[in-house]
């Protein structure tokens, strides 16, 4: 009887496990099937391109294979898709205008400026743009101000209060748990280490933040003033008048918005734009994703200009780095392989590298720099800087034939630092561990977590950082055709905007990705060409595995911790950081 029960239970468990396995495989197969279907969606007549300004603006779209299954209507906004959608919408007769939904959008100033310019260029097609928001954050208003009409809910508000940059300091938190950061750096302005060794900004850091914030704000004011037909001085006065907490009518009286109306009134306005009388027809909206995936305009005609997207923190391998959560990374090993393939691909006549990175591993940056040099020997290489291309992001850019940047791109930050945690107090005093050691040489146990660096080890570490800085500045000098001493005068880890970088020789031309592509094609002497994005998106199975592994826990932590999630993730991942870094501050917050 016992044997019967045993075998019966084993059979039931086996059937259950088999059914579970088959269910999981079926889900994967279904997701792959959905993703493999032709995604080009025909655009209906009298469609309106809807751009939802909420969430975070990413460089590229990271498609979620579960999105369709879970009934999500639209993927988070990506700059790549939005730029492509606006370009196609201007040329597609079935799209009659653009409707922008205001909200709270998180994005770097350089990315916002590029997207805003695309909206302005769309208007040159003669089609209309209308923006409406229950409220507007500063980022979403900056974009929406390019519209023909800016509408606001009667109980809404517009955040137009100027820019602020906040730095979070971890020194006291670390000391409470017995951790100290051993820091080695070159560069007066290299502020990435300050949160770990200071409790307030250094004078040099405050100086550089003030400088680049002023440059960014000046550009934003100029753009808004041009679209709204206002004086910059009046906009600054409005920014000082607490528009965010004032009644909505103040935004109208001040000229920030054109009209106050409710959602039903907005619908009537859009129906009138479509030529519908008496609200007799429903509006037809097309998402950014749908329009971006609609018919291909260039049909792969002529030669190929490759556009390689390099965005996120720079790490040597996928297991390294200190990125917050599962954000995209520039993995040195992978990028080198990708660039090698582009170098050997005879169909590719030129390469535009789209860089949007705060930097990261100095070692990985040097390896990528080398591959860019080899690529340049065979075909033109042009850099298009996005929101930021600083420190390691500038390192991998400086060897290119030409560098384009937005006026508000954050760049420069030419400096090196090393940061190694000293957890000896945590281990010996807080936890109570004891250690003993036998060495054959003076530095046999260098890096021993049970003790801090001694004077000799610290001196050697600083020498290594100095060598890294000297190499970095030499790479910049060689790439930019400058004397190394001249580079060091504008280096010191200082962050510049693209506009400032142009004046000091770090940037060749102010322009967007399209400008960089046109220049690359000209360098390659090709008149008829098409573009192709690299690297290719992960297949649905890889996306599923990655999101299954990390997505749920990450989303739960974000929900639980709110603004504290950044600090938690940074401290949690501190062990993953590569010892020598060429990067901007770990979390740059501009609001």
**Set 190, 273, 349, 488: catalytic member:** 190
Q: Are 381 and 486 in contact (CB under 8 A)?
A: no
Assess whether 444 carries a catalytic annotation.
no
Q: Do the first three CATH levels of 47-161+242-292 and 303-590 match, i.e. the same topology?
A: yes
Residue whose C-alpha is closest to residue 571's, from 168, 101, 226: 168
Give the tens place of pLDDT for each residue, 162-176. Answer: 999 989 898 998 888
Length of the chain: 591
- What pLDDT does residue 558 have? 53
Assess whether 190 carries a catalytic annotation.
yes
Q: Are 144 and 116 in contact (CB under 8 A)?
A: no
Bridge partners of residue 266, in order along the sequence = none
| CATH class of domain segment(s) 47-161+242-292 | alpha beta
Residue whose C-alpha is closest to residue 389's, from 476, 298, 286: 476
Query: Cα-flanking dihedrals φ and ψ of residue 377, to 5°?
Result: -70, -20
Residue whose C-alpha is closest to residue 174's, from 452, 421, 418: 421
Q: What letter does residue 192 receive in the DSSP assignment?
A: G
Question: Would you list the domain boundaries of the chain?
Answer: 47-161+242-292, 303-590
- What pLDDT does residue 588 have? 66
Contacts of residue 137, Cβ cutoff 8 Å, sequence gap at least 6: 102, 103, 104, 105, 159
Query: Within the chain, which residues score under 70 in pLDDT?
Result: 1-40, 62-75, 279-280, 296-300, 319-326, 538-579, 585-588, 590-591
- What pLDDT does residue 549 have? 46
CA pair distance 513, 86, nearest whole angstrom:
14
Q: Are 186 and 465 in contact (CB under 8 A)?
A: yes
- What pLDDT does residue 208 have? 94
C-beta atoms surrounding 129 within 10 Å: 21
Q: Could you please state the CATH topology (level 3) that the domain comprising 303-590 is classified under.
A: 2-enoyl-CoA Hydratase; Chain A, domain 1 (3.90.226)
Tokens of 67: 């999105």
- Tell the residue number behind the tokens 């929101």, with chain if given: 387
Tokens of 77: 């906004």
Tokens of 498: 């693209």
Give a three-class secondary structure readout of 129-185.
EEEEEEEECHHHHHHHCCCCEEEEEEEEEECCCCCCEECCCCHHHHHHCCCEEEEEE
DSSP β-ladder status, 180-186 and 416-422: antiparallel
Residue whose C-alpha is closest to residue 249's, from 329, 183, 158, 180: 158
Tokens of 359: 């930097």
Residue whose C-alpha is closest to residue 49's, from 294, 284, 298, 293: 284
Q: What letter does residue 78 receive in the DSSP assignment?
A: B
- What pLDDT does residue 325 have? 43
**Set 47, 191, 227, 391: catalytic member:** 391
Q: Are 306 and 534 in contact (CB under 8 A)?
A: yes
- What pLDDT does residue 40 have? 64
- Tell the residue number behind the tokens 């290489």, with chain if given: 381
Residue whose C-alpha is closest to residue 120's, from 81, 149, 148: 148
CA atoms within 13 A on the CB side of 565: 15
């Amino acid at each position: 009887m016992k044997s019967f029960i045993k075998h019966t239970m084993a059979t039931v468990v086996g059937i259950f496990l088999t059914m579970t396995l088959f269910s999981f495989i079926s889900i994967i197969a279904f997701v792959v099937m959905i993703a493999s279907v032709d995604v080009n969606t025909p655009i209906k007549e009298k469609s309106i391109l809807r751009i939802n300004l909420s969430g975070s603006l990413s460089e590229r779209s990271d498609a979620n294979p579960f999105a369709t299954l879970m009934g999500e209507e639209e993927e988070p906004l990506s700059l790549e898709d939005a730029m492509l959608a606006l370009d196609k919408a201007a040329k597609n007769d079935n799209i009659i205008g653009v409707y922008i939904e205001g909200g709270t959008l998180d994005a770097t100033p350089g990315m916002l400026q590029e997207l805003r310019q695309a909206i302005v260029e769309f208007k040159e097609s003669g089609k209309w743009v209308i923006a409406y928001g229950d409220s507007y954050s500063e980022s979403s208003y900056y974009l929406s101000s390019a519209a023909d009409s800016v509408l606001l809910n009667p109980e809404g508000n517009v955040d137009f209060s100027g820019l602020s940059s906040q730095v979070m300091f971890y020194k006291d938190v670390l000391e409470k748990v017995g951790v100290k950061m051993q820091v080695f750096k070159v560069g007066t302005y290299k502020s990435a280490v300050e949160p770990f060794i200071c409790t307030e900004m250094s004078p040099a850091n405050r100086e550089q933040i003030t400088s680049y914030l002023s440059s960014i704000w000046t550009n934003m004011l100029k753009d808004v003033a041009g679209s709204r037909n206002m004086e910059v001085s009046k906009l600054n006065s409005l920014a000082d008048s607490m528009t965010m907490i004032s009644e909505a009518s103040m935004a109208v009286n001040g000229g920030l918005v054109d009209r106050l109306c409710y959602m039903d009134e907005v619908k009537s306005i859009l129906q009138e734009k479509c030529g519908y009388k008496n609200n007799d027809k429903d509006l037809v909206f097309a998402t950014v994703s749908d329009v971006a995936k609609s018919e291909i305009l260039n049909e792969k005609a002529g030669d190929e200009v490759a556009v390689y997207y390099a965005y996120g923190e720079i790490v040597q391998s996928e297991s390294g780095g200190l990125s917050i959560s599962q954000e995209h990374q520039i993995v040195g090993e992978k990028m080198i392989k990708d660039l090698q393939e582009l170098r050997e691909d005879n169909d590719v006549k030129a390469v535009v590298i789209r860089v949007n990175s705060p930097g990261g591993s100095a070692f990985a940056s040097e390896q990528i720099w080398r591959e860019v040099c080899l690529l340049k020997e065979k075909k033109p290489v042009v850099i298009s800087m996005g929101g930021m291309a600083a420190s390691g992001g500038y390192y991998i850019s400086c060897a290119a034939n030409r560098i384009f940047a937005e006026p508000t791109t954050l760049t420069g930050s030419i400096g090196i630092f090393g940061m190694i945690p000293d957890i000896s107090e945590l281990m010996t005093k807080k936890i109570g561990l004891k250690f003993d050691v036998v060495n054959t040489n003076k530095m046999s146990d260098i890096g021993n977590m049970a003790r801090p660096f001694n004077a000799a080890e610290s001196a050697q570490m600083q020498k290594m950082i100095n060598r890294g800085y000297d190499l970095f500045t030499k790479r910049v000098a060689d790439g930019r055709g400058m004397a190394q001493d001249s580079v060091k005068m504008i280096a010191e880890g200082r962050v510049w905007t693209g506009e400032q970088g142009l004046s000091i020789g770090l940037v060749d031309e102010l322009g967007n990705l399209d400008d960089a592509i046109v220049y690359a094609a000209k360098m390659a002497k090709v008149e008829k060409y098409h573009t192709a994005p690299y690297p290719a998106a992960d297949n649905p199975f890889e996306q599923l595995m990655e999101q299954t592994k990390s997505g749920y826990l990450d989303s739960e932590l974000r929900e639980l911790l709110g603004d504290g999630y950044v600090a938690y993730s940074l401290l949690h991942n501190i062990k993953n950081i590569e010892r020598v870094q060429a990067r901007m501050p770990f979390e740059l917050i501009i609001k």
